[in-house]
Amino acid sequence: MDIVNYGVIGCGMMGQEHLRNIALLPGARVAAIFEPNELQAAAAKAIAPNAKLVGSVPELLAMEEIDCLLIVSPNHMHIPQFEEIASIRPLPLLIEKPLYTDPAQAAKVADLAAKYPAPVWVAMEYRYMPPVQTFVEQVQAATGGVKMLSIREHRFPFLPKVGDWNRFNRYTGGTLVEKCCHFFDLMRLILQSDPVRVMASAGQEVNHLDERYGEETPDIWDSAFVITEFASGARAMLELCMYAEGARYQEEICAVGPTGKIESFVPGPGRFWPTHLGAPPVPRVVISPRSPKGPQEVEIPVDPTILEAGDHNGSTFYQHARFLEIVRNGGTPDVALVDGAWAVKMGLAAQKSALTGKSVDLV
């Protein structure tokens, strides 16, 4: 097909990032948008002026020209909309993380995975950040086989969203699902192994405590330590702090093995970097062999046009480029439903561990 026509479901902040990146891709266009919030729909229309605004998922699916679908709605709506699509017109689908939010939905995901006839790609943008891709490509050679993996995200608090849905666990799945499924996915990707046990300590220490929505105070956590043991024998740790936006780098990933160490440093969104500090930091990767000693550092710059299209270090663009290959030519998604499901399963286990003070076995 010469032009791939997207139908987009949900166009809040992240949905609009997707629109800007699709606009940069040759041979791709947004043909239809379903966004029930009038302000967000108007903002989406400004980014994709040739897209048709529709009033429902069925109306969008009735448009014959649609070639593929993108779900970017609030977390708790992902599975109901996925099921609706499956029952009406199961087209190739890119569905934002987290795949689901409620443990009771795991069986529905397994059923959809078994029966859905078209490719389904779970959006895990962090895989496609150029410094993370370099890290993944080099990690085995740099370490001689990873024994210890740590991921640190020190970042800004949750941003305002339509209807304030991201302030409450019942809509998000909890911080360790909503925010951290990215990192649990990276752990499985880097270690090429599945987790067997999760231990966590987490809570709401600083953010959103003075906010009120109706009679409710937000219950979304802002910090955590999570330790995960893998079937391979490797161990991984996540450190999350969502009141540390003053840091030079937002994500730091470190893997160590018998022959050396590799690190990746990823800055946060450029729009948040103070102008008086000059140009934003450039991503970098550092490899530190044990013998002969001598760290080797390389910067991993990102095309400025792609960088400005979103808040995820260019990754949304590169993810869509790969998804379009699948839509045009067929093949297997990089991030399948089983990967998205594992990331949620790990997040839910971490939430449970933090609440109970006990480790959670996954096998």
Give 227's contacts (C-beta < 8 A, 6+ positions apart): 198, 199, 200, 235, 236, 237
Can you tell me the mean pLDDT for 268-292? 96
**DSSP three-state, residue 248:** coil
Can you tell me the mean pLDDT for 226-241? 98
Give the C-alpha separation, 276 to 289, whole Å. 36
pLDDT of residue 97: 98
Give the C-alpha separation, 250 to 232, whole Å. 28
Sheet holding 93-96, edge to edge: 52-54, 28-34, 4-9, 68-71, 93-96, 120-123
End-to-end Cα distance, the chain: 44
pLDDT digits (tens, 9 = 90+) for 56-78: 999 999 999 999 999 999 999 99
Which residue, 135, 152, 153, 1, is CA-closest to 68?
A: 1
pLDDT of residue 1: 76
Q: What angle do CA 81, 177, 226 make, to 5 degrees?
A: 165
Confidence of residue 180 (pLDDT cuts 50, 70, 90): very high
Query: 137 to each of 167, 194, 329, how far by Cα in Å?
Result: 36, 19, 25
**DSSP three-state, residue 251:** strand
pLDDT of residue 301: 95
Give the C-alpha separation, 300 to 138, whole Å. 13
> In this structure, what token pair is assigned to residue 206?
């600083």
Can you tell me the mean pLDDT for 37-50? 98
Domains and CATH numbers, the chain: 4-125 (3.40.50.720), 126-302+336-361 (3.30.360.10)
pLDDT of residue 218: 97
Q: Is the peptide bond before 292 cis (omega within 30 degrees of 0)?
A: yes
pLDDT of residue 40: 97
Give the C-alpha separation, 70 to 205, whole Å. 35
Give the C-alpha separation, 205 to 135, whole Å. 32
Give the C-alpha separation, 68 to 327, whole Å. 7
Which residue, 136, 203, 187, 220, is CA-closest to 339?
A: 187
Whether the CA torsion 239, 244, 247, 250 is positive or negative: it is positive
Confidence of residue 363 (pLDDT cuts 50, 70, 90): confident
pLDDT digits (tens, 9 = 90+) for 4-42: 999 999 999 999 999 999 999 999 999 999 999 999 999
Confidence of residue 199 (pLDDT cuts 50, 70, 90): very high
Contact 316, 303 (CB under 8 A): no
Can you tell me the mean pLDDT for 290-318? 96
Give the C-alpha separation, 150 to 154, whole Å. 13
pLDDT digits (tens, 9 = 90+) for 86-143: 999 999 999 999 999 999 999 999 999 999 999 999 999 999 999 999 999 999 999 9
State percent of the chain over pLDDT 90.
98
Contact 334, 128 (CB under 8 A): no
> Average model confidence (pLDDT) for the chain?
97
